Structure 1
Amino acid sequence: MTGHDRPGEPLVLGVPRAAFRPSPVFLALVALFVTSGALTWQRFGNVRFDVFLFVVSGWLVSLCLHEYAHAVVAYRSGDRDIAHRGYLTLNPFKYTNPLLSIVLPVIVVLLGGIGLPGGAVWVDRHAIPGRLRHTLVSLAGPATNVLFTLLLVAALLIGPGVAGPTEFWAGLGLLAFLQLTASVLNLLPVPGLDGGNMIQPWLSPQYRRMYDLFAPFGFILLFALLWNPAIGGRFFDAVFWLADLLGLSPGLYLLGLELIRFWQG
């Protein structure tokens, strides 16, 4: 019996239904996102603080959905125990390392305006047969970021010319840019990140052992690569090129980044 089990509770494939219900933490984040968006739209009170809440809560909601996508594909691929670990409730505090999963990505958003990969669900790879399923589990998270990017860009291509204050669209523009950077970062073939995990099952045993050796240091390796002027410069050139290609206005997301730093003005 697990912490989710209660006598007489309906089961889904042997798992209590409670393991599939959105957690109060996630629902609170969604409520904060909607409320702060409405406050920004109405320019209520300190609009810079409204935009701050709007962007940060929206980013945290996207982190939860990114990790949920990994978890639900893993569950359907054969890892039934992932439901007992709480990952299907969208509760960010269930992740393996809340500091790296929540705190660090938010700090990076505020300081650098980068959608750093966050969250971490532990998947029992031994319970999932077939290399393709392993790749799909790793792909599910970045695919969520790509989908969010396209939806937000579509809204930005239509909305600003129709109605609403600039601050609202600037916050949405920053969210779109964060999703775009998260999409690109998550798809990089770095050991330990989603992009690397997508190709890991297809490596030869020799290269797989080497990959597994570097995988725990994926975040450090990512920072080292971005810190390098040549590599970091090319990365951001690519991101800005993609933003221009999608029609994402640099003025909007740069204004959004300025607004969320409410303590500066």
Structure 2
Amino acid sequence: MTTALSRAGDRRISPVFAGIVAIAAVTGWATWTGFAAQPGLAVFLFVTAAWIVSLCLHEYAHARTALHSGDISIGAKGYLTLNPLKYTHALLSVVLPVLFVIMGGIGLPGGAVFIERGRIRGRWRHSLISAAGPLTNVLFAAVCTAPFWLHALDGVPRDFRYALAFLALLQVTAAILNFLPVPGLDGYGVIEPWLSNGIKRQVEPIAPFGLLIVFALLWVPSVNRAFFDVIYTLLSALGVDGAFSDCGYYLYRFWTETPQVCSVIP
């Protein structure tokens, strides 16, 4: 009986996650209705809460896939509760990704679920576990951009469009960056099972710094410009005007001045 109750508790949705979802819902409503006295603050809270929700789902996807691939220790670690406080590196999982969003409008989750790889057999399973997280961002991006590519924006308030476009940009950047074959990112985790032991040993020292190296490169103007050219091209293909996501970012940074053009875009 105790074991059964423990297993049920291991998979019960955390009140912390439920609270974050509630914040996203309330501030999303405030953004939609214009109820908030400070629209930028409502957008900031809505996008941040929704972004953290996507981080939780990203890590949950890793954990759930690992569970079904053979790592039965996942539940006891609390990863299946969607509680961001249960991750092995709260700094990499929540704090740094939110800072990246604030500083540069870049969505970059950090891998923080500890998986006992020795319990898992088969290279395809290891690759799928690593791919599960960024595939969640792909799905989240599809949901955020659906009103745009379905041409269902009639009646959607301007500020909510901006917020949704910016959130979509974050999900697209998260998916692309995480699929990069850089040690420490999920893309490397996808190909790692297929590499020789010699190559693995050579790149192992880089893994703890992969996330920071990528972020540092994105501060190089030419790299940043090329990267966002790709992002805006993808968003445009999904029906999202780059001006919308830019205005969403300006609104998100409510402590800075929003360009006048964002007030006249229909």
Query: Same-fold call, TM > 0.5?
Result: yes
Q: Distance in 1 between matches of 2:241 and 2:229?
A: 15
1:18 aligned onto 2:9: yes
Which amino acid letter does the alignment assign opposite residue 201 of structure 2? R
Which amino acid letter does the alignment assign opposite residue 25 of structure 1? V
Structure 1's consecutive aligned runs of 4 or more residues displaced over 6 angstroms after TM superposition are none
Q: Distance in 1 between matches of 2:34 and 2:46?
A: 12
Q: Distance in 1 between matches of 2:235 and 2:113?
A: 29
1:194 aligned onto 2:194: no
Is contact 2:218–2:224 with CA below 8 Å preserved after alignment?
yes
Counterpart position of 1:129: 121
Q: Distance in 2 between matches of 1:118 and 1:53?
A: 21
1:142 aligned onto 2:142: no
Q: Distance in 2 between matches of 1:120 and 1:69?
A: 12
- TM-score, normalisation: structure 2: 0.91
SS in 1 for 2:218: helix
Counterpart position of 2:30: 39
- Give the deviation of 1:166 after TM superposition: 0.3
Which amino acid letter does the alignment assign opposite residue 22 of structure 1? I
Unaligned runs of 5+ residues in structure 2 are: 258-266
Equivalent runs, 1:202-217 vs 2, <5 Å: 202-217=194-209
Equivalent runs, 1:103-114 vs 2, <5 Å: 103-114=95-106
Is contact 1:69–1:140 with CA below 8 Å preserved after alignment?
yes
- Give the deviation of 1:159 after TM superposition: 6.2
SS in 2 for 1:216: helix
Equivalent runs, 1:1-265 vs 2, <5 Å: 8=2, 10=4, 16-45=7-36, 46-158=38-150, 161-265=153-257
- Give the deviation of 1:239 after TM superposition: 1.6
- Give the deviation of 1:9 after TM superposition: 5.6
Q: Distance in 2 between matches of 1:192 and 1:232?
A: 20
Q: Note closer, same or farther for the CA distance 1:224–1:8 as it changes in structure 2 (3 Å cut).
A: closer
Unaligned runs of 5+ residues in structure 1 are: 1-6
- TM-score, normalisation: structure 1: 0.91
SS in 1 for 2:113: coil
Is contact 1:160–1:169 with CA below 8 Å preserved after alignment?
no
Equivalent pairs, count: 256
Q: Pairwise CA RMSD of aligned residues?
A: 1.6
Which amino acid letter does the alignment assign opposite residue 197 of structure 1? G
Q: CA-to-partner distance for each residue in 1:102-151, whole Å, 9 max, x for gaps?
A: 11111211221110223510111111111100000000001000111112
